[in-house]
Amino acid sequence: MVRPNRLKERLRLGHPSLGCWLHLASPIAAEVVAQAGYDAVVIDHEHGPGDLYNGILQMQAASGTAATTILRVPWNDPVYIKRALDTGAEGIIVPSVQNAAEARAAVAACRYPPEGIRGFANQVTRSAEYGARVEEYLAGLPERLIVICQIETPRAVRNIGEIAAVEGVDMLFIGPSDLAASAGHVGHPDDPAVLALIEEAIAATKAAGRALGSIPLPGRRVEAMLAGPFDFVISASDVALLRLGAQADVSAHRQR
């Protein structure tokens, strides 16, 4: 049976949801993280080292849990989006969407003709269980997929209204690090000018009635973000969890 999209259902019901990045390209790490109880795990192909075959292994590792498997593609590229969805990703995050035209392109890459341009090969792809569930997979689209557009530049913040108005965009996701860099404050998402852009993005997204996501933001605890106005927070990554755990262990036991 093709799985329901648990994250999308939680968003529909208004339940705040928690995610974790997968940067290690490790199926074992993916399995451990997914078993912890996150609502979604996000395989990162924008900054992570993995490829699509490796992404399948991570999805297989997480498939025994309820966690929705999302893949962040490297760019708003219809070829990569097509291949990512064919692997069975239950959603995509598209980096640096700047305007309505780019949002429409991302949605079109996720949909089959006539609504979109996605190529059809479900007789052999994992998304439809290698041809065993073609009709079931098609019957569930596009509701079964979640499409998330990242807001990462001042221009994108100004255009949130038109981006959010694109049918098929499920969530806008604020990327504070790239937003800071594009605003001239590399490495300083806590700069007052960046914080003002973040507040503008939050207000515009909620005014547009779209789900809102991000990572932990300067001065905001994850618990407070999920209490409102955020619907989805990717609170950790497998790399950070391993690094912080290792550092804590060394600090606890180092004698000299």
Total count of residues recorded for the chain? 256
CA torsion, points 39, 53, 128, 86, in degrees to nearest 10?
A: 90
Give the residue among 174, 183, 172 at the shortest CA–CA distance from 216.
Answer: 174
Distance between CA atoms of residues 167 and 144, nearest Å: 15
Phi, psi at 222, each rounded to 5°: -55, -40
Distance between CA atoms of residues 63 and 131, nearest Å: 18
Q: Quick check: is 47 catalytic?
A: yes
- Do the beta carbons of residue 184 and residue 124 sit within 8 Å? no
DSSP class of residue 126 equals G
Distance between CA atoms of residues 235 and 232, nearest Å: 9
Give the residue among 109, 117, 105, 103 at the shortest CA–CA distance from 84.
Answer: 109
Distance between CA atoms of residues 129 and 190, nearest Å: 45
For residue 26 the two structure tokens come to 């490790």
Question: Which of the residues 45, 47, 185, 188 is marked catalytic?
Answer: 47
- Do the beta carbons of residue 194 and residue 179 sit within 8 Å? yes
Catalytically active residues are 47
